[in-house]
Structure 1
Amino acid sequence: MTTDKFILLLLDNIWIYFLSLLLMFIVYFPLIKKIANCLINPLLFAVIMHVLTNTVPVFLFFTGRIQEYYFYYFIIAEIVFTIGFLLFFSKPICCKYVIINDNNYSNIIFIFYLIVFVVSTLITYYIEGIPAFKASRLTLKSNFTGILNRFIGFASTYITIFVFYVFKYRKRKILTAIVLLLVAITSVLSGSKSAILSLIFNYYCYLYFYENKSFKKNKVILLLSPFFIIAALIVIFLRSNRNILDAIISLAQRFIGNGDMYWIAFGDDAEYLDKIVIKHKYLYPLIGFLSPLHILPSNIYDDYIGLQLFRIIHPTLNNIMGPNTVAPLMGIVLYGWGGIILCFLIGLFTSFLIFKLQKKIPKSITMAVIYSYLYQNGISCLTDLAVGLSGIVTLILNIIIIYFICLLINHRVKYRKITLRNIYV
């Protein structure tokens, strides 16, 4: 089913869609309640987007526009995925060790990544132009800018979380304001509607992984919330050159569009699903990890499922874009009903990244940044495994850089054992 057909179906059955949405929120309410420790938790945001995604197959079922075969597969795959996701779920437990000489190298790393962020962003703008004004922000003229983008993302996370730290403990208000304003502006100019949430998600991760604090109501968050809504509208307005009303409608469509992969792949007779070609079915789940490392020849990697779907319904367009490849869709394309096993493994892997590894990482501002980046990319696996794995590759590369910086300054990490009260934020 094409997007145009789905929109017409939605307009004719809008109340059925809202009924489907309400039903999915009821189904996922126990999970939402379990993780809803804070309104700015990126995991809570991801689960809500997951609910919006899964509303589409239910809506298609109620309107008779999906085959029972695919709908029942979707239901079972989601149940299995959720079971895997919850296996490692636990309240946060802090590591028993803290790095006591973190300041000796964290300042140098901050300066390094601030320079990397500014220089890489300016080079990218010079070569590619400003993404917010491009028809497709994912289309790159040079592979070099693709490499730079990997470091821009991690550098943004590092300098943002670090200035939260220096604002509290060193009272560097001017430095904090400059860095946060810089990151906010580049987030808007990135053309990504999710990028504008990075500041608020990084603030949560700072509180969660460094301060170990809990909060349910925060005046800062309430004050910043309108900014992020306005910023999202600005991003859409800049990219579309339309009026503000169209931008608001486009933002609403963006939320509904979380389930675009389902109406394209499963809608009507699933005619587009059979046109997807994957030659290396057992290699494909690892494409997000292997492709950035260039371990294997590039021609051995199949095109992403989402990209193939986009090109199937838009054969005349060459844009590099397409819907996310959620676990159930990847599973059925690769292995049919055997994809249920893959869904369980992806859920389990995501749970391991998000919940299990935090117990092993000692407390320091640098380690808080590292795990924050891992946490947010682990969450990305909920919507697209390849995106999450690609982020992990970026993290590994930056960990190596941080390690060599420590070697250059002849820094030896010192630990001490601590006793912290476990706090569920």
Structure 2
Amino acid sequence: MNTAEFFELLINNNLIYFSCFVGVCLFYYFLFRKVCFSMLDPIFISLVGSAFGASVVVFLFATSAISSFYFINYLATQFAFLAGFLFFNKFSPAVFIKSKIKFDNVFFLQCFFVVSFITFFLSNITVYATLGIPLFLKSRLDLTVDAGGYGIFTRFAEISGAVAFYLFLHFIIIEKNVSRLFKSSLFFYLFGHIVVTFLSGSKSSVWFFAMNYFCFLMLNKNNPRVKDLILKLRQYQLKIVLVGLIFAFCIILVTFDGDPSNAFLFLAQRIVGYGDVYWHAYPNAYIEKLPHDHFFIAVFSSFLGFFRIVDSSAFPEPIGYSLTKMFYTVDMIVGPNPRHNIFGYIYLGPYFSILYSFILGTSLGYIRKLFLNAYSSRIFSKILLLFFYSIFIGIETDINYIFFQLNNILVVIPFLLGISLLVYYFFIFPIENKLSKF
């Protein structure tokens, strides 16, 4: 079923879809209301997307657009994923991370911050100069298509920006005893990051600040100053979400030349579109026509390709792209995300896909457990866990993209640390020599 056919089915059965949507959302609410305790928790967006996708499958079954076999397999894999996630959140013992890496020196952290935000700005300027400003492109995907070697700067911008923002919060909230010059650099960075956020053209870019702020508070919740901020965050989180929605809508308005009707239509399509892979794959058994070889390479292709372990010609065709070609003529790699239900069914079959979904759910639950109990860890460990948690919340959507983002960490973090250490020792050694002579 192509997208036009699905939306025609939805319009003709809008009450059925609305009933399915409300029912699924209520189910998710009662299941996770004690697990996800803030709308700014990154897992909240993941659960919202999961609920939107589930409502599409229920709607397709309610309108007899898919067989009961696929519906039962979807329910089995989805419940297995959710059960695995809840298992670690409710029954696993508390796990504390105690890193042996001691990068908590205040001056080193200042060097780490400066190197990170300079890398962030230089990477974005390079992207704008060579590939264009994302806000003014017809599609943000155009930014990295045929980008050549310049695509690496988008990786550096993403990771260095997150590191800089975490350290910005650290110096604003916890470590306040810094020079006026350094405080000026903090606010210069913040202003620049806000400008870059707007120019990025991403509808969800404002969530970067809100969610990373939430994560920072959780990672430092044993600090007395942070405890008060957590209470305030709970009071104002709804207002923050509304601001984020308004910002996203403004970005959409710019994209559609200020036409509010097209903007609202696009927003509605994006919400329903969380389940696009399901209306492509399940009806008329199109899922059976997809290539299903090389499971290991399909999972780890981003990692294997990045480090040239396996030649890219050996990679299986992306599931979303294969589905898209069945309905449209395309000249570039586009398509829906291969959510775990579809990916597992294709490569492992209807039975082992249930185990696969459970393993993914437990992985996410384990990472979240580590994240929530990392408040006694060192700063560098907290930053790494922030990255891992932010990455693994997308494990339900696209397993391969998880390894793509892990590649970014493996490349960018050592670079930032190496440059920061060089800067640190460049300044600190002369001081130590003078003190020893004195």
TM-score, normalising length from structure 2? 0.85
Asked if the contact 1:97/1:362 (under 8 Å) is kept, the reply is no
- Offset at residue 65 of structure 1 (A): 0.6
Partner of 2:169: 164
Q: Structure 1 402/116 Cα, relative in aligned 2: closer, same or farther at 3 Å?
A: closer
* Alignment correspondent of 1:119: 122
8 Å Cα contact 1:233/1:247 also seen in 2:
yes
The CA distance in 1 between the partners of 2:259 and 2:304, in whole Å, is 42
From 138, 142, 146, the counterpart of 1:141: 146
For 1:51 and 1:17, locate their aligned partners in 2 and report how far apart those are by CA, in whole Å. 13
CA contact (8 A) 1:165 1:365 kept: no
| 1:281–1:334 contact (8 Å) kept in structure 2 | yes
For the aligned residue pairs, the C-alpha RMSD in angstroms reads 2.7
| Code of the aligned partner of 1:291 | G
Q: CA deviation at 1:30?
A: 3.7
Deviations 1:209-266 (A, max 9, x none): 1344443754654544343222212322333335023212211221111111111111
> Partner amino acid for 1:118?
F
Q: How does 1:240-259 map to 2 (within 5 A)?
A: 240-241=256-257, 243-259=259-275
Determine the structure 2 residue equivalent to 1:395: 409
Runs of 4+ in 1 over 6 A off after TM superposition: none
Q: Which has the higher helix share?
A: 2
**Separation of aligned partners in 2, 1:148 and 1:369:** 21
Pick the aligned partner of 2:308 from 271, 294, 298: 294
Match of 2:359 among 327, 345, 352: 345
Determine if contact 2:344/2:353 at 8 Å carries over to the other structure.
Answer: yes
Higher alpha-carbon deviation: 283-292 or 360-369: 360-369
In the other structure, the counterpart of 2:53 is: 53
Select between 136-145 and 73-82 the one with higher mean Cα deviation. 136-145
Verify the 8 A CA contact 2:95 2:369 in the aligned structure 1. Answer: no
Greater shift, 228-237 or 252-261, is seen at 228-237
Counterparts of 2:415 and 2:312 in 1: how far apart (Å)?
Answer: 25
Q: Does 1:325 align with 2:341?
A: no
* Paired residue secondary structure (1:282): helix
Structure 2 equivalent of residue 417 of structure 1: none
State the distance in 1 between where 2:75 and 2:266 align: 29
- My pick for the range that moved more, 141-150 or 58-67, is 141-150
Describe the SS at the equivalent of 1:389. Answer: helix
Q: CA separation of 1:301/1:232 partners in 2, compared to 1, >3 Å: closer, same or farther?
A: same
Deviation at 1:120, TM superposition (A): 0.7
Q: Distance in 2 between matches of 1:94 and 1:37?
A: 21
Asked whether the 8 Å contact 2:97–2:370 carries over to 1, the reply is no
2:191 maps to 1:181: yes
Unaligned runs of 5+ in 1: 412-425
Deviation readout 1:149-199 (Å, 9 max, x if unpaired): 111111111111221222224287754444333323323332332333111
Identity of aligned residues (%): 25
Q: Is the deviation greater in 395-404 or in 11-20? A: 395-404
- Specify the alignment match of 2:211 in structure 1: 201
Deviates more, 1:93-102 or 1:377-386: 93-102
AA partner of residue 208 (structure 1): M
Matched, 1:233 2:280: no
Matches within 5 A, 1:378-393: 378-393=392-407
User: Residue 418 of structure 1 aligns with which residue?
Assistant: none
Residue 154 of structure 1 corresponds to: 159
**2:109 alignment counterpart:** 106
Shift of 1:97: 7.2
State whether residues 81 and 344 of structure 1, in contact with CA within 8 Å, keep that contact through their aligned partners in structure 2: yes
Q: Give the number of aligned pairs.
A: 408
Q: Counterpart of 1:309?
A: 323
Residue 107 of structure 2 aligns to a residue whose secondary structure is helix
Q: Report if aligned partners of 2:116, 2:416 keep a CA contact under 8 Å in 1.
A: no
Partners of 1:116 and 1:194 in 2: how far apart?
Answer: 22
| Bigger CA radius of gyration | 2
- Whole-Å separation in 1 of the counterparts to 2:344 and 2:150: 32
Closer, same or farther: CA 221–85 of 1 in aligned 2, 3 Å: closer
Question: Per the alignment, do residues 207 and 32 of structure 1 end up closer, same or farther by CA in structure 2, a change over 3 Å counting?
Answer: same
SS in 2 for 1:241: coil
* Residues 160 and 100 of structure 1: CA distance in aligned 2, closer, same or farther (over 3 Å): closer
The Cα of 1:16 is off from its aligned counterpart by 1.0
Q: Which deviations, in whole Å up to 9, do the C-alpha atoms of 1:309-368 show, x marking residues without a partner? A: 2233222x2243321111111011112213222212222222232223665786344432
SS at match of 1:380: coil
Instruction: Indicate the residue corresponding to 1:71 in structure 2.
Output: 71
Q: Measure, in 2, the Cα distance between the counterparts of 1:83 and 1:263.
A: 25
